[in-house]
């Protein structure tokens, strides 16, 4: 998980604590489940067209209404979550420039 994605998660956890009035248990459980899923089947997400990141994909966390934007590096056998982004935002996240 990228530094920015970790910051996104922290921000989401803080939002849940302030606005939902409790623990962000469902959000964190969904995130853990998604990470396990990506480890097993990295191409499960929807491809996202991006000129800079050709292997960019998006996976929906439906219960918490977040997207994971991630990159698959097949040659290294790695998946990197780049952003954790709420579905209600009307624009895509800023992604790293490679």
Residue 39, H or E segment: helix 25-40
User: Over the stretch 60-70, which tens digit does the pLDDT of each residue have?
Assistant: 998 889 999 99
Reported confidence tier of residue 78, pLDDT bands at 50, 70, 90: very high
pLDDT at 52 over 90: no
The length of the chain is: 98
Domain segments of the chain as ranges = 3-86
User: Over the stretch 21-32, which tens digit does the pLDDT of each residue have?
Assistant: 777 888 899 999
Rounded to the nearest integer, the mean pLDDT of the chain is 91
Is the backbone of residue 64 left (phi > 0), alpha (psi -120 to 50) or beta?
Answer: alpha
Rounded to whole angstroms, the Cα distance separating 68 from 83 reads 6
| pLDDT given at position 98 | 60
| pLDDT given at position 25 | 87
**In sequence order, what are the residues at sequence separation of 6 or more whose Cβ sits closer than 8 angstroms to the Cβ of residue 51?**
none
Domain boundaries 3-86, CATH class: alpha beta
């Amino acid at each position: 998980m990228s530094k920015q994605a970790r910051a996104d998660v922290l921000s989401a956890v803080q939002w849940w604590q302030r606005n939902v009035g409790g623990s962000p248990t469902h959000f964190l459980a969904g995130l853990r489940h998604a990470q396990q899923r990506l480890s097993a089947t990295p191409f499960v997400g929807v491809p996202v067209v991006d000129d800079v990141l050709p292997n960019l994909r998006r996976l929906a966390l439906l219960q918490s209404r977040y997207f994971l934007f991630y990159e698959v590096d097949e040659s290294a056998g790695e998946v990197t979550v780049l952003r954790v982004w709420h579905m209600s935002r009307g624009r895509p996240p800023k992604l790293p420039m490679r």
